[in-house]
């Protein structure tokens, strides 16, 4: 689970007035003061002063090259892309009115990666695929934690599917799906898994999904929650 936080690059304060500009300004002030003194002296001295060339401005000091931006070292592996994950359905457990369904995400790449947050899940018909009703609502009873997957390791999410036929047809509009569409956390490429559950064509919530967490829970259904 992709934590789907980047560290900001260290900004550089705006450059101050160049040293050469300060030197030039000082030279101008010296010339102004000298001109004022000349005005109070004799006219011949003023004429001589006016004919004298002004002292050259101090040479501008070249600016030092900027320091390279500092990039903090990575603290976690990158998020698992959809193409590196093997997504499949696992343990199913029924209850009165629906089922709990485990969805597993296995790192099929040779490099470690992370999952963070919730998968996107919906029932669809097709192909061509058309979503049935609402996507799964997030079940927030389990805290969100970053899950790091080494090669071959898996994480799971628990999906609760309420049978749409529990509702009046006029309220729900039950439709039987052909697939379960699953987006891994923080990814935009879906995976389609065979599923023939009934969903509501009307906006009645029948799907509830848990956060992705490390596998190894003896009975993952125990923390699935009621989806309320």
CATH level 3 topology of 82-218: Immunoglobulin-like (2.60.40)
Q: Does 200 have pLDDT greater than 60? A: yes
Residues 88-114: pLDDT tens digits? 999 999 999 999 999 999 999 999 999
* 199 vs 74: CA distance, rounded Å: 42
- Residue 126 CA to residue 98 CA, distance in Å, equals 23
Mean pLDDT across 215-221: 57
Q: Is cis: bond before 214, omega within 30 of 0? A: no
Token duo for residue 10 = 């260290």
Taking each continuous run of H as one helix and of E as one strand, the counts in the chain are: 3, 14
State residue 145's pLDDT score.
92
CA–CA dist 203, 22 (Å, integer): 70
**Could you report the per-residue pLDDT of 43-61, keeping only the tens digit for each?**
444 444 444 455 554 444 4
Confidence of residue 68 (pLDDT cuts 50, 70, 90): low
Claim: this prediction has a pTM higher than 0.75: no
pLDDT the model gives residue 21: 43
Q: 29-33, 59-63, 163-167: which range is least confident on average?
A: 29-33
User: What is the pLDDT confidence band of residue 215, given thresholds at 50, 70 and 90?
Assistant: confident
Q: What is the pLDDT of residues 138-164, one digit of tens each?
A: 999 989 999 999 999 999 999 999 999
DSSP string, 112-144: -EEE-S--EEEEEETTTTEEESPPPEEP-SS--
CB 181 within 8 A of CB 121: yes
Q: Where do the domains of the chain lie?
A: 19-51, 82-218
């Amino acid at each position: 689970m992709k934590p789907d936080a980047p560290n900001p690059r260290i900004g550089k304060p705006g450059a101050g007035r160049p040293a050469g500009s300060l030197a030039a300004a000082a030279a101008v002030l010296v010339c102004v003061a000298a001109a004022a003194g000349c005005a109070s002296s004799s006219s011949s001295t003023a004429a001589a002063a006016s004919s004298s060339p002004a002292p050259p401005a101090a040479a501008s000091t070249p600016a030092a090259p900027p320091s390279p931006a500092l990039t903090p070292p990575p603290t976690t592996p990158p998020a698992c892309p959809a193409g590196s994950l093997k997504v499949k359905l696992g343990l199913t457990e029924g209850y009165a009115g629906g089922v709990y369904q485990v969805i597993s995400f296995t790192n099929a790449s040779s490099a470690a990666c992370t999952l963070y947050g919730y998968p996107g899940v919906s029932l669809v018909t097709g192909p061509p695929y058309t979503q049935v009703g609402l996507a799964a609502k997030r079940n927030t009873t389990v805290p969100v934690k970053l899950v790091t997957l080494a090669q071959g390791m898996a994480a799971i999410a628990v999906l609760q599917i309420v049978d749409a036929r529990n509702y009046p047809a006029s309220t729900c509009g039950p439709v039987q799906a052909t697939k379960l569409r699953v987006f891994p956390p923080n990814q935009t490429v879906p995976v389609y898994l065979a599923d023939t559950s009934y969903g509501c064509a009307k906006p009645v919530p029948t799907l509830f999904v848990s956060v992705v967490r490390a596998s190894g829970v003896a009975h993952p259904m125990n923390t699935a929650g009621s989806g309320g």
